[in-house]
Amino acid sequence: MTLLDPRGFSGVVEWSDQMSSLLEEKSKNYPRLDDLNDWQRWAQRVFCDNNPLGQNAPDPFTYPDWKEWAERLFAVADFSG
């Protein structure tokens, strides 16, 4: 699976919708982000909480901005497995 570069998106809801669509290719259990202010909790659930997809995912709660976190995720995460 290819991780989407967040630099091509204007907002977190748009990016998370596309990421959820890609993730659903592997599993149907990924939540949708409906409230842009809840992006950190969404990111934690999708990429960090006992999820092998997020084995190298940075902690979203250490980033005040979703795009900064997503760019770091894009740089370090390996979603090929």
> Would you call 52 helix, strand, or coil by DSSP?
helix
What's the domain count of the chain? 1
Report yes or no on 11 lying in a domain.
yes
Question: Distance between CA atoms of 38 and 42, rounded to whole angstroms?
Answer: 6
Tell me the pLDDT band of 12, cut-offs 50, 70 and 90: confident
Report yes or no on 81 lying in a domain.
no
Model pTM above 0.85: no
Give the CA dihedral 74, 56, 79, 18, nearest 10 degrees.
-50
Report yes or no on 22 lying in a domain.
yes
Report yes or no on 38 lying in a domain.
yes
Question: Distance between CA atoms of 43 and 65, rounded to whole angstroms?
Answer: 12
Report yes or no on 71 lying in a domain.
yes
Contact call for residues 73 and 58 (beta carbons, < 8 A): yes
Report yes or no on 65 lying in a domain.
yes
Report yes or no on 53 lying in a domain.
yes
Question: Distance between CA atoms of 20 and 46, rounded to whole angstroms?
Answer: 9
Tell me the pLDDT band of 1, cut-offs 50, 70 and 90: very low
14-43: pLDDT as tens digits: 888 887 777 766 666 677 888 889 999 988
The domain containing residue 25 runs over which residues? 6-76
Report yes or no on 1 lying in a domain.
no
Whether 64 has a pLDDT exceeding 60, the answer reads yes
